[in-house]
Structure 1
Amino acid sequence: MRLGLRLLFAFLLITGLASLLVMRVFLVEVKPSVREVMEDVLVDSANLLAEAAADDLAAMPPGGDLRDSAFARSVHDYARRPVQAQIWGLHKRSLDFRIYVTDAQGRVVFDSGTPSMVGADYSRWRDVARTLKGEYGARTTRDSPDDELSTVMHVAAPVQRDGRLLGVLTVAKPNATVQPFIDRAERKILQAGTLLIGVSALVGLAVTFWTVRSVRQLRDYARHVGDPADDAGARLRPPALPGELGELAGAMDAMRQRLAGRARLENDVRALTHELKAPMAAIRGAAELLRDDLPAADRQHFAGQIEDQVRRQQDLVDRLLMLSTLQGLEAPARTEPVDLTALSEQVTQRLAPALAQRRLHLVWQRREPLPLRGDAPALELALSNLLLNALQHAPEGSVLTLDAHRDGDTLAWSLRDEGPGVPDFALPQLGQRFFSTPNPVDGRKGSGLGLAIVAQVVALHGGQWQAEAASPGLRVRLRLPAASH
């Protein structure tokens, strides 16, 4: 089967299914939407009637009821009123509100639908119980347990006088009274959906022709990308063979992998070479000087310089290996319950001597437990890198501010230093391999692998990280999903 026929068939199939799905979604949403509007009307009605009943309920003696009150007579008069209403072509011939009132203990003092229930205890019914607690009270209950069309919506409102709760008034209305409106809306949706499918079939012919032509051009282009010796690819005509889409996907994927892998490797090798130049030159220079007859102090100085540079290179290699290991993972290497706040405290305690040496003060803005499931060693490594980075860039005697709190289902953790910060143009590049800014203490630049490790650890745990200017300083935010219960 040719590509055009395949695409046309697929388009019609997908469009038909999508149209049916959309119609189904609309049909499913019609009933809840109508009932939401009905609930809104019931809320207004309940609050209005609660004001009307307030005087009679306030005057009612303890243990009494409202059956002979002015409010009760008004409700009974309402129920007897004749109605002949035309609502968008539909006839309404009955008034459907059921109204009942309870006192502050939940005892029924009036019920327009079932007068025999006066004196009954409604305090455990959801609408009454929640309203008595000062909350929004509503419920939907079936009159007949086996009939889903017998549901009745109840909405309650508090009856108050001078800030004192006198009782609860509930307005109930059967959902069946709005079912004709739902049925009419569903019929119109079905008619419109049928027309949509027909129009989609016509659009499919035009879209298929355009798509086939574009895909074939793109396939030929993808086959010759990366081959500078062949510049005639755009002029080639594809053979009349099936499977063009498969060839296109394979050609473009192979091209992407080759180009992306080659570019990444070249960038990493170039950056790593650049990072190693300075320490290698320092080691070579110190080694040459050590061949001479030097005073003991100078020999000690140059030996220490070699040791320092070797340590830098070892740290670079270790971090690069760690980052490579993390990038090879699709999920955390291990999952266990972890408290990010407790883990932060462990890291800060371990770094306490370094903080004290530079007279840095650690302040918690908020310190809430942040439970999640993850790889504790990897998370500890990420937090250590962030704190070390802040420690290196913060001015001596300044403050490091930590914040740990929950934001819904998200754990929010942040660290701010009061250093020189990072220029705005450099903020988006933080977290990239071998990108770093000069250390304000000694002017030396790091490898940038620390923040790259942070970014990778956070991504493995399904979170996000962000660096932003704090004026002064830099604030790093982590957002991670909380542990599910």
Structure 2
Amino acid sequence: MVALAFSAATLAIGGIAYIVTHEALEKQLDHRVAVESQALLDQAKEGGPASIAQSIRLREKARNSSSLDYLLVDDAGRPIAATISPLVPLKEGYEEFFRFRRGRYTGVGQSLTSALPGGLLVVIADRHDLKEIDRTLEMLFAGALGAMLALGVGAAALIGWLTRRRLSRVDTTAKAIIAGDLTQRVPRDGSQSEFDRLAATLNQMLDRIGALMDNLRQVSSDVAHDLRTPLTRLCNQLERASTGEDEAERAAAIHAARNQADELLEIFAALLRIAEVEGLAERRALVSVDVTALLEEMADTYRPDFEASERRLLASIPPGLRLRGDRRLLAQALSNLLENALRHTPSRTTVTLTALASQSTINIRLEDDGPGVPEAEADRLFQRFARAEASRTTAGHGLGLALVKAIAAGHGGEATLSRPARGFGVIIRLPTPARGASDASLN
């Protein structure tokens, strides 16, 4: 279709150019004939028809391929001077197709017949050169049309082949993924073309799906591993309650089973909360959040608990920190970090909450000067059910930092360990509105 469209356009342009050129050449011939006729008529006013006959004979001697032809006849139609013999009756005025003979040559010309005292003057311009130009234009336009057809068909075939080739890569990758190989990605050539950018987008989508699948497998494994013990304990408590003969012992077993069930419900609620945030189910309309006010509020809320447990909470928060986000989720992430600091640090520990705005992010840090965690354990603390060995004896399920990481990622940011010189710390990096892509990622 594209080739046909280009060909039709070429044909239309060629046709218009041919008509315009042809008409311009015909007007040029008419003008040449008119100028020559007027010159001879002006000459006749001084010397009469004899002077015109003399001029015709002189022009005949100097004749070349582009010379005009002449015919001078008297009132009876007898030639006085001529370079051609007419094959049509003479009549005054212009004639576009005047047939004549010159020796053995028979031609057609544009003529102007003018009356003068004692006869007629005919000046003829041969159309042979005009026909040759018309023929040359026709050949050029036909060649251009053929070249355009060939180029259009070739370009369409090439584009079709390249398109099928690129789509076949996508198709091959999709079939491999359908077959179960989630590691396959669409090949890229680095050209930044539309197909290359599409491949990049598809690969990002596949990376996201792969991460979700890995997360699902990890969750399944963690649930199976970490819930086995409390479920076993719950079954034992129920078994003791069902077989116990002493009423007090049965009541104690039922109470213990109830506590165990509540703990399981807390774990599942935390897992569901993390899944909702990571699955972007929390993407309600985001608003501008005053981060400065939020941090000061959280610090004021938890400071009495820190003081009551013989710990200190210091806050250094600059004014004017704002971003687009979900205030409730950000408050929950900060609450988890502060709860961890209360739960897993010894007394007389100092915890510092700070914030710093860079050109594109707001960095929130919560650090303590406690004993910290071994380097080997630090890298896995953001995984579900991951707990430092020293925290095994304290309450908790190892899901707090996993939720913090999910909330940060849901806001287009990240949560990582800050690795202070002493103790333990977490830094949350959140994009600010000044970052062009952040608004799009939050909406």
TM-score by length of 1: 0.44
TM-score by length of 2: 0.48
| Largest Rg, 1 or 2 | 2
